[in-house]
Amino acid sequence: MRFLVTSDLTLPEQLALDEAWLEVRETGGKDACAAWGGADILRVWESPSYGVVVGMANVVESEVDVAACREAGIPILRRVSGGGTVLQGPGCLNYSVILGVEPDGPLDSVTAANAFVMKRIREALNPLVDGEIDIKGHTDLAIDGRKFSGNAQKRKRRAMLFHGTLLLDFDLGRISRFLRTPSKQPDYRGSRNHDAFVRNIGLSKDAVSQALRKEWNAVEEEDGFPGEEVARLVREKYTKDEWNLRR
């Protein structure tokens, strides 16, 4: 596995990069991407500005306080994976793994992939935190019943994207300001509001990044990525209301 190193990207560019690299991994690369097509990728990133990102199937009005976002200038974007709505911004670290899928392998179904990846993320972080990390719901990570990580996947025939958020030192009060109570909740949430349900884990970005790299054996660094495709996706998709506000 390679660790993808990128310069600062906007939030739409980050979402586009996940989609673009998934396609590279699916097709095996072509043209300038050919050298990267066969490699699994880990990357870690953080948005320097706030933005709401809804899951592929989310209905914006049900999950987001649209008026509050507009008043504060908070963009609402949509990603290609499933899962729930999240507020991105400083202190919320993101990871993405783009992996090849083999028949009868550990990623050959949604359920199997969830179990495989979530276990590895938990194992990477457990030695760094106070308390024991539990896998809750389908793809949450929690300590003492309070969530600090939500995760989702996007599958193709030969490759998959699995990515998630990690609340390190996030301004948690902003979540209730811009997000509604989720329309779908795991049982362990118990109808708690955002403030009572989520938490930070107080780790540094570097410590988490190094732990993930070690767990995934992402030793070799890669600084190239399909920039033209990212730019096209941003231009034609991730900055368009037709995509972001489609539901």
Percent of the chain with pLDDT over 70: 96
Helical H segments across the chain, by residue range:
11-27, 60-63, 66-72, 110-125, 173-178, 194-197, 205-216, 227-233, 241-244
Phi, psi of 63 (to 5 degrees): -105, -20
* Residue 238 pLDDT grade (very low, low, confident, very high; cuts 50, 70, 90): very high
Residue 32: the pLDDT is: 44
DSSP letters of 207-247? HHHHHHHHHHT--EEE----HHHHHHHIIIIIT-HHHHT--
Residue 28: the pLDDT is: 78
Query: Which range, of 36-50, 74-88, 168-182, 187-201, averages the lowest pLDDT?
Result: 36-50
Residue 221: the pLDDT is: 87
CATH number for the domain that contains residue 147: 3.30.930.10
89 against 39, higher pLDDT: 89
> Structurally, how many domains does the chain consist of?
1
Is the pLDDT reported for residue 33 higher than 70?
A: no
Query: Which range, of 7-11, 45-49, 57-61, 170-174, averages the lowest pLDDT?
Result: 7-11
Is the pLDDT reported for residue 50 higher than 80?
A: yes
Residue 31: the pLDDT is: 47
Query: Which range, of 90-94, 103-107, 131-135, 221-225, averages the lowest pLDDT?
Result: 221-225
Q: Give mean pLDDT, residues 37-57.
A: 91
The number of residues making up the chain comes to 247
- Quick: pLDDT tens for 119-150: 999 999 999 998 999 999 889 999 999 999 99
Is the pLDDT reported for residue 171 higher than 70?
A: yes
19 against 37, higher pLDDT: 19
Residue 37: the pLDDT is: 55
What is the span of the domain harbouring residue 45? 2-244
